[in-house]
Structure 1
Amino acid sequence: MTHGPVAALKPERIAINQATTRKQWDFREAVEGYARHGVHWIGAWRDGIDKYGLAEVKRLLADNGMSVTSLNRAGPLVGLDKADRQLALDDARRALDQAAEISAGCLPVLPGSLPPGSKDLSGVRTQYQDMLAELLVPARQAGVPLALEPLHPMVAADRSCMNTMTDANDLCDALGPGIGILLDVYHVWWDTRLEAEIMRTGKDRDRLLGFHVSDWLVPTRDMVFDRGMMGDGVIDLRLIRGWVEAAGYDGPVEVEIFSSLDWWTRNPEDVMKISLERCRTVV
């Protein structure tokens, strides 16, 4: 399928996930720093609430004109014994309440995967669907969509039993309203079905909840903590953004870079400047 040329990204659509400056700035510094650079969307992490409390977090967001794309995160939910699964569900409900308090756009739910000694990947995938169905009840009551984020197959054994956009779309079809997909290019860029599955989200206007950008470096020195700055790797970011927008998504485009070997060692002001410049020129 072909689509028309992709227009330059409007500055007001740019979001920054706290992960991008996680080692340099805490929540307060991130909110104030992003706002200082003209960014008013943040992918927030729950440790900011733990440190400052909900009242202060809400004040910081309001004072800096900042909106929250997502609150990271609930889970892992599977690969646990019965008691730990209940603890995980209880914590996920707390996360839902926190997300509702700060008007977060969604709550990502990390699946988890195989427990020690297990090889039953199909079984944990079934368990994940069952636990999502249980969590959907309070999510719908809170008015906070649950976000499924397919993660690269390299983490299928430990972090996530859900690894493709097909997996995520199938879960959304099975579970109904109140659940959607957070698309992170780092995890799905390689998938031969990516365009088709992105177009599939367009059948439900509310299904695509977020769009995260970074880049895949060659060589990659660490599969989790060596993401590249947009334009430094092999992902055709503008092509994928074109697919996402053709499917009807017009929300924030969020920079999320985990980089212990590079970007987390740099001056966060420089990280911000380069992130914004790359959003304008290559995303």
Structure 2
Amino acid sequence: MSDLSRLSFNSQTAKHWPLPELIDAAGRGGLGGVGLWREPVREAGIDRVAHLVRSAGLEVTSLCRGGFFTAADAATRQERIDDNRRAVEEAALLGARTLVLVCGGLPSGSRDLAGARGMVADAIAELAPFAGDHGVVLAIEPMHPMYCSDRSVVSTLRQARRLAERFPPEQVGVLVDAYHVWWDPELVDELALLDGRIAGFQVCDWVTPLPAGVLTGRGMMGDGVIDLGALRREVERSGYSGLTEVEIFNARLWQRAGHEVLAEACRRYLAHVA
């Protein structure tokens, strides 16, 4: 098999694969890294996972997730900021280069989109110095506009860039997820403006027609319409030198054995991304 050292495998792609087995397989397979989620890490034990990752010679390209800063009352907003502080500390313990921020949608019962975006900006301003002190970059993930109401009021690379630019790049950056940004007519121009701000790059594919379960119907690379190789080249032209992380939410994939999913992801990465 060709070089996989620039590939990272996000654990959500094989959701039910125990982390120790996943990490061992990724290391033995010659991958460069893994992307991790907080809940499985806690279940396996954060110190244990950190040791396994180091022993396998892997990089933790991302920890997911932080964010969800929007809430109807101040007490809940503060609880979420406090939880994000814990997430930063967890990322630092794991040696993760970034904490992914799914920023949050409209608070329940609200139509105040500008107010929700203000909550996101205020929370990041409070957290950014703390993250920088821990050597962790807060990676703002702009999400496709169909998720604006419930997951993230940050919908475009331009929004994410302008928000990130308020802070030093060692504190706040932008996560480029192919699924969420491929459609953007300003994509190439915005990537160029992100020079030094891209904190991570994730790939999967956009399948048409959209499945009924949109959140868990993302495609394996090559199954959809995104020119992932071209996007990777633009991301790297914009100064990104990190790993490419495969993160696929797909209910059918989750029913398969983890080693099968990893093997297919490696093949598809080489054929459609590298």
TM value normalised by structure 2: 0.95
Asked if 2 retains the 8 angstrom alpha-carbon contact of 1:168 and 1:181, the reply is yes
2:189 corresponds to 1:196: yes
Decide which of 169, 175, 182 is 1:182's aligned counterpart.
175
SS at match of 1:254: strand
Match of 1:3 in 2: none
Quote the Cα distance in structure 2 between the aligned partners of 1:252 and 1:80. 37
Counterpart in 1 of 2:223? 232
Distance 2:67 2:148 in 1: 15
Contact 1:156–1:163 (Cα < 8 Å) also in 2 = yes
Match of residue 152, structure 1, among 133, 144, 149 = 144
1:38 aligns with one of 15, 30, 39: 30
Q: In structure 1, what is the equivalent of residue 8 of structure 2?
A: 15
Match runs of 1:54-93 below 5 Å: 54-93=46-85
Structure 2's unaligned 5+ residue stretches are none
In the alignment of these two chains, the number of paired residues is: 270
Amino acid at match of 2:180: H
Give yes or no for the alignment of 1:142 onto 2:129. Answer: no
User: Which whole-Å deviations, capped at 9, do the CAs of 1:164-192 have from their partners, x for residues lacking one?
Assistant: 00011110122333100110000110010
CA distance in 2 between counterparts of 1:156 and 1:189 reads 16
2:98 aligned to which of 93, 96, 106? 106
Residue 48 of structure 1, CA deviation: 3.0
Aligned-residue offset at 1:10: 4.5
1:174 is paired with a residue whose SS is coil
Match of 2:266 in 1: 276
Distance 1:198 1:34, change over 3 A: same
Question: Displacement, 1:28?
Answer: 1.5
Which residue of the other structure, out of 238, 242, 250, is the alignment partner of 1:247?
238
Rounded to whole Å, the distance in 1 between the matches of 2:24 and 2:210 is 32
Taking the aligned partners of 1:214 and 1:160, their CA distance within structure 2 comes to: 19
CA distance in 2, matches of 1:241, 1:130: 32
Q: What are the Cα deviations for residues 105-127 of structure 1, in whole angstroms up to 9, with x where unaligned?
A: 11112211211221111111011
| Cα contact 1:19–1:258 (8 A) shared by 2 | yes
Distance (Å, rounded) in 2 between the aligned partners of 1:181 and 1:192: 18
**SS at 2:193's partner residue?**
helix
CA contact (8 A) 1:37 1:272 kept: no
Pick which of 78-87 and 154-163 moved more.
78-87
Structure 2 counterpart of 1:218: 208
Could you tell me which runs of 5 or more consecutive residues in structure 1 were left unpaired when the two chains were aligned.
1-8
TM-score by length of 1: 0.92
SS of aligned partner of 1:84: helix
